[in-house]
Amino acid sequence: MQVNRRKFFKICAGSMAGTSAAMLGFAPATALAAPREYKLLRAKETRQTCTYCAVGCGMLMYSLGGEAMNSKGKLFHIEGDPDHPVSRGALCPKGAGALDYVNSDRRVQYPEVREAGSKEWKRISWHEAIERIAKHMKKDRDENFVTHNEAGVEVNRWMTAGFLAGSACSNETGIITQKFVRSLGMIYTDNQASI
């Protein structure tokens, strides 16, 4: 190939630019071969029990943000917990789709009450909700507590109310729940996840 002076300088400039780019790590082959950053790398991992049904599968939930002032955390990935004794990493489609209902605009995140005779639900504080529940429970217990059965045997039971514990409760919460409801004389109690 015949190379004149002008062509010679062009080739040199092109080679130098290519070499510099390669030295800086911009060689296309290297760039394409570089691994993408693992998307869960900086995420906060939280262990949870699926709240959907009584199987009680284990979940790993990954979120970002929420650690600093004015920063709101956002859940962005959910997968089965391989160490969970019930599900061993498996989730059914409902559990695997939990991300959508956790982040749904229509998710109710606070207590609401519909007063007797009203068609409207109104938002109340957690404090008010707990107080109202406690008042209803006391009134019902006062009116319906049974101290003796027909045969005169002392029974001390409250049979007009029941208590259902959530599936995401731990064993410890379950024991405390049992102690609480039994101390009130309540007979009907169950846990949504029978695990």
Chain residues that interact with ligand SF4, rule: CB under 6 A = 50, 52-53, 55-57, 87, 91-92, 94-95
Closest to ligand SF4 by CB, 91 or 186: 91
61: which 2 tokens?
Answer: 């939930």
Q: Left, alpha or beta for 172 (phi > 0: left; psi -120 to 50: alpha)?
A: alpha
**CA dihedral sign, ordered 77, 79, 84, 85:** positive
Smallest gap from residue 178 Cβ to ligand SF4 (A):
22
Closest to ligand SF4 by CB, 52 or 158: 52
Smallest gap from residue 80 Cβ to ligand SF4 (A):
8
Closest to ligand SF4 by CB, 51 or 160: 51
> Is the Cβ–Cβ distance between 126 and 110 less than 8 Å?
yes
Closest to ligand SF4 by CB, 58 or 186: 58
> Is the Cβ–Cβ distance between 61 and 75 less than 8 Å?
yes
Smallest gap from residue 40 Cβ to ligand SF4 (A):
20
Smallest gap from residue 57 Cβ to ligand SF4 (A):
3
Smallest gap from residue 186 Cβ to ligand SF4 (A):
26
Closest to ligand SF4 by CB, 61 or 95: 95
β-pairing verdict for 186-191 and 154-165: parallel
Position of minimal CB gap to ligand SF4: 95
* Angstrom distance (rounded) from CA 93 to CA 159: 38
> Is the Cβ–Cβ distance between 78 and 61 less than 8 Å?
yes
Strands (E), 27-153: 44-49, 58-64, 74-80, 112-113, 122-123, 146-148
Smallest gap from residue 167 Cβ to ligand SF4 (A):
7
Closest to ligand SF4 by CB, 87 or 191: 87
